[in-house]
Amino acid sequence: MDDALLVVLLLADATVRVATPLVLAAFAALYSERAGVVDIGLEGKMLAGAFFAAAVASSTGSPWLGLGAAVAASVALALVHGFACIIHKGNQVVSGMAINILVAGLAPTLAYAWFRQGGQTPLLPGEARLPQVHLPGVEALSGIPVLGPVYRELIDDANVLIWLTVLLVVATHWVFTRSRFGLRLRAVGENPSAVDTAGLSVTRLRYQAVVITGVLTGIAGAYLSTAHGAGFVRDMTAGKGYLALAALIFGKWRPWPTLFACLLFAFTDAVQVRLQGVPLPVVGVIPVQFIQMLPYVLTVLLLAGFVGRAVAPRASGVPYVKER
């Protein structure tokens, strides 16, 4: 009984840890895409964040400076994206792709020049990594069945960025349903000319959205290299940016369903690690690769309308031109 509970808790814990960067990146894209700017450059911005977080944390010993550097680098890339898509009405998909490829080359190049360790940063010591939040009362509660283990395994000693992500989810819900800024962002993604007519600057709103995207992807990258991992390694995002995008689509561009999709994807990943080589009833051993491709297949099916319908913000991907 207790063993089963422990397995469930360990799975849940792994799910939360894998889901955190996905949630951060997917919510980052939520801001951008609800404002009408398509962002497939999440991968690149996360990778830049991961590199600068680890590089600065390694050089200065402070994970907080690393976090700051990650956010700065990621926002800089977001501004490039904004410059191309908002000011110059460039193709948003091409711009996102360019940023992904650029950073995939730039991060190891800089890492090599900086640390001379084959395109990665040195292993970070404990104090250069973002800390976990130790909660009081673990011993006191550990005697209580169910609640004790849940508190000990799942809630205590979670990374500070996991808590930040929880806050972000709640705040995002509030922003998009209650705040004036959020409602305007949504409007600018659906009908920019109406927003323009109302006397608000489409350019300004979209820039604000893109900068928020940069901040959040930077944090997501920092989580990968200085909280979850202990240093930057080449291609450490490994498609998480695209997976986050898939989660956003799966969540139909809404906060709570997007969170759910991230947790689902992360859960398949956690299960996949546990299921390797374990025969299941009826189907036998499922090859890992099939579980890994599940999120992508689900997204394709969803987009094809076989599992509900995902409707993107109407103006997403379309540069706004006054007086069209």
CB of 276 to another protein, least distance (A): 12
Question: Binding another protein by CB under 8 A: which of 245, 259, 262, 263?
Answer: 245
Question: Binding another protein by CB under 8 A: which of 1, 3, 4, 113?
Answer: 113
Q: Is residue 86 classed exposed, middle or buried when 0-12, 13-18 and 19+ CB atoms within 10 A define those classes?
A: buried
Residue closer to another protein, measured from CB, 143 or 305:
305
Q: Does 237 participate in binding another protein (rule CB under 8 A)?
A: no
Question: Binding another protein by CB under 8 A: which of 242, 253, 265, 320?
Answer: 242
Q: By rule CB under 8 A, what count of residues binds another protein?
A: 50
| Buried-state track 135-162, b at ≥16 Cβ within 10 A, e below 16 | eeeeeebeeeeeeebbbbbbbbebbbbb
- Tokens coding 229: 């991992």
Residue with tokens 């999120």: 295
Question: Binding another protein by CB under 8 A: which of 15, 100, 172, 237?
Answer: 100
End-to-end Cα spacing for the chain: 66
β-strand partners of 132: 159
Q: Which long-range contacts (CB under 8 A, 24 or more apart) does 256-263 make?
A: 256/173, 258/23, 258/26, 258/27, 258/30, 259/23, 259/26, 259/169, 261/26, 262/19, 262/22, 262/23, 262/26, 263/15, 263/16, 263/19
Q: Does 85 participate in binding another protein (rule CB under 8 A)?
A: yes
Mark the segment that binds another protein (CB under 8 A) among 106-114, 137-145, 193-201, 223-231.
106-114
Q: How far from 142 is each of 2, 16, 75, 80, 139, CA to CA, in Å?
A: 13, 21, 43, 51, 5
Q: Tell me the C-alpha distance between 54 and 281, whole Å.
A: 44
Q: Give φ, ψ of 233 to 5 degrees.
A: -120, 155
| Contact characters 15-44, another protein, x per CB under 8 A | -------------------------x----
Q: Does 229 participate in binding another protein (rule CB under 8 A)?
A: no
| Contact characters 114-133, another protein, x per CB under 8 A | -----x--------------
CB of 107 to another protein, least distance (A): 8
Q: Tell me the C-alpha distance between 162 and 155, whole Å.
A: 10
Report which of 33, 27, 268, 273 is spatially closest to residue 161, judged by C-alpha positions: 27
Question: Binding another protein by CB under 8 A: which of 102, 154, 155, 275?
Answer: 102
Q: Does 89 participate in binding another protein (rule CB under 8 A)?
A: yes
Question: Binding another protein by CB under 8 A: which of 10, 97, 138, 160?
Answer: 97
Q: Does 297 participate in binding another protein (rule CB under 8 A)?
A: yes
Residue closer to another protein, measured from CB, 274 or 309:
309
Q: Tell me the C-alpha distance between 253 and 46, whole Å.
A: 20
Mark the segment that binds another protein (CB under 8 A) among 65-73, 121-129, 201-209, 237-245.
237-245
Residues that bind another protein (CB under 8 A): 40, 80, 83-85, 88-95, 97-110, 112-113, 119, 239, 242, 245-246, 249, 287, 289-290, 292-293, 296-297, 299-300, 303-305, 312, 317-318
